[in-house]
A and B are shown apart, each in its own frame.
Chain A
Amino acid sequence: MRWLPVFKKEMRLYFGSPVAYVVFTFFLLISGWFFSQIFLFYSDASMRSFMQPQFGQNLNVVDNVMRPLFTNMSVVLLFFIPMLTMRLFAEEKKAGTMELLLTYPVRDGEVLAGKYLAALALYLILLGLTLLYPGLVAYFTRVEWGPILSGYLGLILTGAVFLAVGVLISSLTENQIVAGFGTFGVLLVFWVIGWGAEFAGGTLRTVLQYLSIGDHLEGFTRGLVDTKDLVYYLTGVGLALFLTLRSLESKRWRG
């Protein structure tokens, strides 16, 4: 397996340049801001439930803190993930290093695997750092870990799809800005496409709902791991990576 050297090189480049640190800093800053606001609102609400007991009946820390936090983080990822993936192929093409990389004795699939897994590893580290938030909640109160874990699984899968789309678009251009903005645009389209379902009927409604990335995350944040959603994410990753491989291989015969 020759994907490992590519993986290690990409990790060195992420951490040897400011990319990883800038993305980490701002993602944690923004998600931390969301967390503190949601948590303050929740503690305020639970305080009030002492006065009005019927108000507190549905008060559940996972539903009222972690669920909105997961949704908010997934929206922030929409902006941040293109920044992680845009350089992966575009930079190498622009700098000409692609010429060397493709003439080393590695298969295109190994190059792709190394790069994708590096981006995925970086993303997992980023998500790992946000475990601080449920940790803090658990420090103050009793939590159910099941829905939190399924929520993280949902975020991992969402991120995996975002990253795969980003890698695909980066392989299509040698301009990093085009790669970053293109990825953001495609992801945003898949994010808002579900909104159209409200006014559509019949099959179209089902299709639009199924394509929407956000709708599939919904179940995970409630603690529901549905095979329908798993299939959605995994086919999304598979399709994007398959197309990336085709785009890399075309270099060898297209000229």
Chain B
Amino acid sequence: MIQVDNLTKRYGPVTAIQDVSFNVDKGRIVGFLGPNGAGKSTTMKILSCFMPASGGTARVAGYDVFSQSLEVRRRIGYLPENAPLYPDLSVASYLDFVAEIKGVGRAARRGRVADVMERCFVGDMQNRLIGKLSKGYRQRVGLAQALLGDPEVLILDEPTIGLDPRQIAEIRALIRSLAGQHTVILSTHILPEVSMVCDGVIIINRGRIVAQGTESELVQQAFPSARIELRVAGADGDVAGAVAAIPGAVGVQPRPARDGSVGLLVEAARDRDVRPDLVRLVTGKGWALQELHQVGMSLEEVFIRAVAGEPEPQEPVPAAEETR
């Protein structure tokens, strides 16, 4: 549904994104993840036909965002960063304007506007001027206008920013419910959001894609072995040696001792769960088991590795070329 090939965008000498390529299949929800200034919004502005790329191509629903912009715009709903809206219009009249401009017929308009207001929980404020609304309401009005016209593709730039925890949960549920009929690409820097809402993840850092796939794929790539933290008390003898002898254990690293207990970080093959073996070993030896848990398998760890593991930015070569 969305095909992006070697997309590059330069603002003068500054390269915002470089050779970004990805695909999003129909009906999937993909999270665009990256630190601030990584190029998430730039990519979304190009996909929504707001600005042209400096290089590469992007196609939405089979249409090129540059040469067939109008066709693309008929099929997208876009929520820009910070949801820019007209402060002097009421919620209902603003949404009526959006519905009309998106070509919703006069007869259906009232019903459609009422429908998106209900889905985005802004119905109780429909006669209020947008300028008088709180940030959370404005954000949801922004989402409502993106949903109008029932677009095939939704491009949402930080849809849950500025919402309170309950609203965040409601909006995530709403986005989740769009999967299947709609293809959604959303950007965020809230990691749990991606786990909760998205089918796939694209991690972008300093304008380049550093990882993409489903969450479990990314976790497996980043951590080929499972890591288990073990802590036992009352141990005599070589705990580390005994643990390393367990089949499946790949590596053992000591952890700082605490109150006479021994801590170990055990790395084990992913296809074999060594935890039962560990328990048997500890109880068999008569030691006291204090802690046993698997660590470092979250998307957060993947993200931090992907973003921190990037080499330092090379001196921007294009800049030198351009000043010539």
- Smallest Cβ-Cβ distance to A98: which chain B residue: B84
Which 10 A-B pairs give the minimum distances between C-beta atoms? A96-B84, A5-B100, A5-B101, A105-B74, A105-B73, A103-B48, A97-B84, A9-B97, A17-B88, A99-B80
Which of chain B's residues have a CB closer than 8 A to the CB of A107?
70
A-B contact pairs, 13 of them (CB 8 A): A13-B86, A17-B88, A97-B84, A97-B86, A99-B84, A100-B78, A100-B85, A102-B50, A104-B73, A105-B70, A105-B74, A252-B52, A255-B52
Chain A 203-238, CB-CB to B under 8 Å as 1, else 0, gives 000000000000000000000000000000000000
**CB-CB under 8 A for A100 and B100, given A13-B89, A252-B52:** no
Specify which of A16, A99, A106 lies most central, judged by the most chain B CB atoms within 10 Å of its CB: A99
- Smallest Cβ-Cβ distance to B54: which chain A residue: A255
Measured in the bound complex, the distance between the Cα atoms of B232 and A96 in whole Å is 59
- Interface residue A48 (Cβ < 8 Å from any Cβ of B): no
Looking at chain B, what size class is its interface with the partner chain?
20 to 34
- Interface residue A22 (Cβ < 8 Å from any Cβ of B): no
Closest Cβ–Cβ distance, residue B216 to chain A (whole Å): 34
Measured in the bound complex, the distance between the Cα atoms of B99 and A146 in whole Å is 45
Measured in the bound complex, the distance between the Cα atoms of B145 and A9 in whole Å is 15
Closest Cβ–Cβ distance, residue B102 to chain A (whole Å): 6
| Contact of B84 with A95 in the complex, beta carbons under 8 Å | yes
Residues of A in contact, count (CB < 8 Å) = 26
Measured in the bound complex, the distance between the Cα atoms of B100 and A180 in whole Å is 30
Q: Identify the A interface with B (CB < 8 A).
A: 2, 4-6, 8-9, 12-13, 16-17, 95-97, 99-100, 102-107, 251-255
Closest Cβ–Cβ distance, residue A18 to chain B (whole Å): 10
Interface of chain A: mostly helix, strand, loop or mixed: helix
| Contact of A252 with B85 in the complex, beta carbons under 8 Å | no
Which chain B residues numbered 31 to 71 have a C-beta less than 8 Å away from chain A? 45, 48-54, 66, 69-70
Which of chain B's residues have a CB closer than 8 A to the CB of A105?
70, 73-74, 101-103
Our pick among B66, B78, B89, B93 for the contact of A103 (Cβ within 8 Å) is: B78
Our pick among B73, B76, B86, B103 for the contact of A9 (Cβ within 8 Å) is: B86
Closest Cβ–Cβ distance, residue B174 to chain A (whole Å): 20
| Contact of B89 with A12 in the complex, beta carbons under 8 Å | yes
Measured in the bound complex, the distance between the Cα atoms of B69 and A103 in whole Å is 9
Which of chain A's residues have a CB closer than 8 A to the CB of B93?
12
- Smallest Cβ-Cβ distance to B84: which chain A residue: A96
| Contact of A103 with B97 in the complex, beta carbons under 8 Å | no
- Interface residue B1 (Cβ < 8 Å from any Cβ of A): no
Our pick among A4, A8, A100, A253 for the contact of B80 (Cβ within 8 Å) is: A100
Measured in the bound complex, the distance between the Cα atoms of B17 and A175 in whole Å is 29
- Interface residue B98 (Cβ < 8 Å from any Cβ of A): yes
| Contact of B88 with A2 in the complex, beta carbons under 8 Å | no
| Contact of A255 with B100 in the complex, beta carbons under 8 Å | no
Closest Cβ–Cβ distance, residue A101 to chain B (whole Å): 8
| Contact of A103 with B145 in the complex, beta carbons under 8 Å | no
- Interface residue B177 (Cβ < 8 Å from any Cβ of A): no
- Interface residue B261 (Cβ < 8 Å from any Cβ of A): no
Contacts A8-B97, A97-B86 aside, 17 further interface pairs with beta carbons under 8 A come to A5-B97, A5-B101, A9-B97, A12-B89, A96-B80, A97-B85, A99-B84, A100-B80, A100-B145, A102-B50, A103-B50, A104-B98, A104-B102, A105-B74, A105-B102, A252-B51, A255-B51
Specify which of A5, A106, A255 lies most central, judged by the most chain B CB atoms within 10 Å of its CB: A255
Closest Cβ–Cβ distance, residue B89 to chain A (whole Å): 6
Closest Cβ–Cβ distance, residue A134 to chain B (whole Å): 35
Specify which of B54, B74, B88, B145 lies most central, judged by the most chain A CB atoms within 10 Å of its CB: B88
| Contact of A100 with B52 in the complex, beta carbons under 8 Å | no
Measured in the bound complex, the distance between the Cα atoms of B72 and A252 in whole Å is 14
Closest Cβ–Cβ distance, residue A70 to chain B (whole Å): 33
Which chain B residues numbered 78 to 124 have a C-beta less than 8 Å away from chain A? 78, 80, 82, 84-89, 93, 97-98, 100-103
Measured in the bound complex, the distance between the Cα atoms of B86 and A9 in whole Å is 10
Our pick among A4, A95, A103 for the contact of B49 (Cβ within 8 Å) is: A103
| Contact of B103 with A2 in the complex, beta carbons under 8 Å | yes
- Smallest Cβ-Cβ distance to A102: which chain B residue: B50
Measured in the bound complex, the distance between the Cα atoms of B93 and A49 in whole Å is 59
- Smallest Cβ-Cβ distance to B97: which chain A residue: A9
- Smallest Cβ-Cβ distance to A101: which chain B residue: B101
Measured in the bound complex, the distance between the Cα atoms of B49 and A252 in whole Å is 8
- Smallest Cβ-Cβ distance to A107: which chain B residue: B70
Which of chain B's residues have a CB closer than 8 A to the CB of A252?
49, 51-52, 66, 69
- Interface residue B9 (Cβ < 8 Å from any Cβ of A): yes
- Smallest Cβ-Cβ distance to B87: which chain A residue: A95
| Contact of B51 with A2 in the complex, beta carbons under 8 Å | no
Closest Cβ–Cβ distance, residue B82 to chain A (whole Å): 7
Measured in the bound complex, the distance between the Cα atoms of B101 and A8 in whole Å is 11
